[in-house]
Structure 1
């Protein structure tokens, strides 16, 4: 009989296929093999319980499924087939595997086969049942161990087990094995069928519960409750198995075993690696070794501080864990302060009660309800778990727990409200009006989560406040849940009672809505219009401060109101540079605050030149001391603002005044000028701008700007300013007015900007056809072209005026030599000169404005994406990193100023340590905005100073609450490596992450810009790892190719046991792209697959021609440069090919490794082509071609690629040929991919 569908499914471990074809159970193929035998041969333990009817059947040579699985050393299958123990082969037989031939005489047993294959764990299981049996040649299992396959390694352990092989045997188990088999597959019905065998332990002490925990079948555990607490012969518990395998749901149900320790030295085989553990090992230690952070967090309260027989704690096991288990940072942080105090483990009955409550199993809850009242380390009860999942039917049974609160003070009612489970709320009325540790009620939690249907059920809690004085209405508004406002309207008019972050006492729900731009909430809260908080701030001011222009028309009734400082909404908008809001607040133009300051002055002080043209009606106004907007801009160093305010030049203060900047206050006598302020503050650019208009003017004490430059109290090098003022003359020109032509130009620029923005909006909202998009882009380019033409005309006109000015200056010099009789002519010439100077200054300002606007339009793409908080668009434009807008700000600075944490994290390595026009860094912008999380991400910039010599800490100290909130963050220690002198040109900027063999930092240098720096401390590493590292350092200096990672510098410091590798910066990996596409459901297009193959093959062909084989190609080692190129990296496993061009060392990542590596055969560079084929297949399907190592080794080819061009499918199929000789070379792959470019 030929192979059946059932046999094929069993061979593949296809559980669903086995279930579909169970009608074929009992059939045999031409060799007498059954489906069970195929499953056993391949080690698919999960199929055995379904095929139990075939247990005991023989093939044509008298072999059983147990013998076949013993031959391959499949321990899990052995445990399930022990009922076949004692059977012996009926005929001589020969097996050929991987080119090796094995002969067995009749009478051979499973134990003999395990002895020959050197499988000690299998022998331990089979010995009680088959010891002493002999084959037809009189050989026992001991003989097979002494004459075993020499290629199978050291037989010491096997020979010790069989040294005293006896003749007394016990009968094999029958039904007991079926219980274990059901536990392996999670077959609850099978477990119920064999419940009378619960408690059975095989010869190694393994129970059905341990197998269920190993395979992650948490649903089976309550049925195997009697086995909880049992230990195998090494002292292992089911909890330990669950912890090793990271089966967190099982671990939760087995917590009553916490605290148990192994009684013997044991070895765990996981991921193809056997790891020894000493006696005294706990489940927590195993979880720490295998980097199971969730399990570590669960077990820590119960097992922390315990030590094994060698004195090691879980922390030690984490620090010496399996290096292949990725980054141990989280586990090590959990165990950093491992203490010795432990809490007792929960009773198993309480654990099961919680389990049944979680799934809503009423009968299960009823069975264990007598154990209600237990709280876990977080204070959670079974009732809380039940209502969190909406199981209202469990509430009455768990009434005893009503009123209990967890560690945060939350009740079951609150947890139901947070999840929106309305059916649970009426049953928990006894918990109404309770508050958690922050004073929150269930109603507040429901409102904050937007569960409007819960609010009527919790009306008894309406008008209650939490600890910060907030109501449920305020919490709903904070989150923007407009649908929750109507049922809470009775709370309208309430004001907070305490200061909280951005909200002082007296804040209303309306103010909260305005602050966050929730325009849909504002109409519902109109009764609160006109209310002011304790600072006098209104909702309108909140909206204007944050630039929410869409909210302003809804709050127009508050126009003209002022806070306690006298500020208006307009001043708030100007102070924060919110240009969209200013035109909507024109009714507040020319209003002055308590100090006489205007919105224009606030814009000038804060350095927002874009606001100044919008506030031109306020130009010329002076505050209570006579200060102008120009003076404030000059004092604070905002040259862009000064240029637009030159019409105020020549004005002087009318009273003694004080100017403050970042906590530093300077007093000046009256009659001070903007030039004097700029000279005092060492602003050479501004001094140069103002000199012609204000030179030689004197203050009330007779001091000129030159005197202020020579006698400034400020530190710094004043050389440039003093040189500008060295020949300060008395001749001054009149300040430029606001000429109509300049205003027209500004208006035109604004019109063009508006048109461009409109086109962008149209472009983003209407992508119906490609032709429409091209047309809109064409219009945008035409407008840009027009703008450039205007710029060129302005340049030409400016040059013309410059030539005229030079000619007239010569005429003026000649006139000074004339006699007094030509006074009239001299005056005429002077007037003409002044007019031309004014015109020239005007033209320069216009040219500058156009240049800045044009620069802004050219470089706005990345910055616009940041301002739109579009992470996808940002990633597409990372190649623009480093570009600046007209004020010198980078995209990172914009993100920092807005508190966009994720964007800052993305852009930090690319733009850190850059400075804008006034010298501000991204850190300073984050400090100025009070964004604490962004400040923490940008600490690498805290040593930099701005144009005034201030650090970020100086900026923080000048802010309200800055010393309290921000300064401590700025003093936080950042762990960056100290580089040796040879690498002094590189500046580490941040820690990016830790890999298996080192820590990676971002770095920067003047020669190379942004770089990646890998620091490897190898002193205590294994010799093989150090050899791998030295191989990488020896390989990389000679490699230079656009698709191979370039290393700028490598340095070995053997005295400190540390290696440093500086490499080019790449913004991500192919793995990131594959995962991102998978999450978005976005497949790779055919042309994208061809491009990736082309670029990878190009780099690979280069490596192969240099006689290097990579050996660890996978998506995580294919980096993506900032321009999107695929770059091959991570050469730790690269190896130079010797004379034979073949090697035999096992290396790489399992599912990307070629069959010949798994078979431990010699291999060559074709293994890299195989790995590239796996990646090509993954790009096409978002799946790997082979699910496990067995599938890779088998002759069966990869599933065919559907829906892809035949040329692409054929190429990838050839790359995945099981025979290396049939695979194309990397050069051939490249040539094929180039043909499809």
Structure 2
């Protein structure tokens, strides 16, 4: 037993005495997964071993980049976390996730409590904190723990956590976060009424502060569930969004947002952010009255108000829209590394993004701002409609890689979203032309434009306005709006973009046609095929090869006439790719066109199907491609034998038995060397006694590889045969040090000599060096 085996076995057995003996020589040894003894002690929850091993192995990481502290956090081992926290808390995963994020993502509540004094606001490479990860997975207990000390001012990551919880349909968590945020929203009502109503009719009731804070909220529709709730105030974000269930991807923007419904009522209610500090309200702010004869419902969603208010508090730049309301007191700003530094916002009015606001104050129009300033703007006021809307602020600067091969886009587009993009996403088409004058051409941190969002969300009301100014722009991954349209089969958008963005390639060299083919979008592929056929990505694959790889039979039929003769950089044809993936329908289309073709290594489609064990594909290809060999002379039977595919070998043996590769090996020899007993039994009647270029038999291969089962099967058929040097199978077994095989063969070959006249025993005495060879000589 090797020292490392003894070391890890002692740890697994919790044998502290042996561990202490081996500690000077075996400390810092790792297993195949890169795990140390300390990590295994954490998994075993052994405080004694942790104390013993920590001074030697603290700070080491495994193949996944995990430390012992992260393992303890993941498995909710609070005691282990406390012991390791001081030494390993500063080590993060490659994705920048800290130990607290690991614990929060795993719903390890005790570990979260143990770690929480540190890393509360530490973010990963996406700018997500532990609270956001807990919200994404619906770990309500962890969310409550993380927010325990955030009762005076709102946590700066609460907004993003709320949005992520809504998008992931984590209802209990989202409801809790909404109630948490609602505590910091105060509604002030008018203290005066004007004489627009008849004296016999009292003014409509306005929601009181206490009632507004206690309203129950439907997190999926964004409306109150009060019994008298007739006012539907739909949330800007839909429950149909999908977020990739991966700890490295968070998606605060939904994939398919529902249209925003605006109420018809005209309501006069300015909303004041309640920071639990003293607030000064101007006299003009109180002099606001209801100017409508319509009945005004008191049931209004708190969630859009919370989003509006918190959006300003998490932005890096605040431009007040009104002088009528003042906020005083510490307000937290977003931080990517440490606890936020308090700052003061002198003047601010928080609008509601989903109700029309009318007041008696003079409208303050924002001056013309340059696009860079607009990207940081938090509030925008439209002078024509006197409606207040919001643009989500620039938050954490993050690195993001868009994976177009996933089932859905996973975009984190909150950083850098402009007013124009917000209008596009929320369906406010009447504002698009207004904001397009200043925001057109602006990008998010990931390089997304308003045109791309219009395609993604299928908001085509003002599409031509955006196409004229933003067509041809690529995001950070090189995708254009046309590629996004192709991925989501947006045929109307493709028509408008086709002649402006066709034949553009992304960072991987993929065209819009390739994106459409990857997603299986036939209509999009048909529309793009005339303009983009025969283009290849940077790995040498055409759209046709992608169709063969993904099994899109209808698209392959469409493209075979345009790209059927193309191969990738290794010479692979569509037939080979389909055979390896067992796409039978595509094989039937391509067999008449691409049969008997080979890639750069001489591999045929039959060889690939045989290696993968795809019997359906082998049956279709057998007649046409049997007895073909690759650059090493190997047949499909030999390749299937090395893979151990017994059913494929049974189908091929009649056509390809007896063939030898460039060094004379048969399928039987390869099966014997790999100890595939069933295959050896199958091939013995066809290929026994055949010798390779050096005179070796299948029995010699089995003896040299110490495959005793294969030796027993081959012994009656091949004993006594010699290679070109006169050596027997017994001599091969003796050189390999296999005593059981030597004893098995001694009955037949112990008196046979090689070309030099030496017996097996003479060879062993002359060349024995190890204990196994000496034991063999004792025979």
Decide which structure has greater helix share. Answer: 1
Normalising to structure 1: TM-score of the pair? Answer: 0.33
- Higher-Rg member (1/2): 1
Normalising to structure 2: TM-score of the pair? Answer: 0.50
> More relative contact order in 1 or in 2 (CA 8 Å, sep 6+)?
2
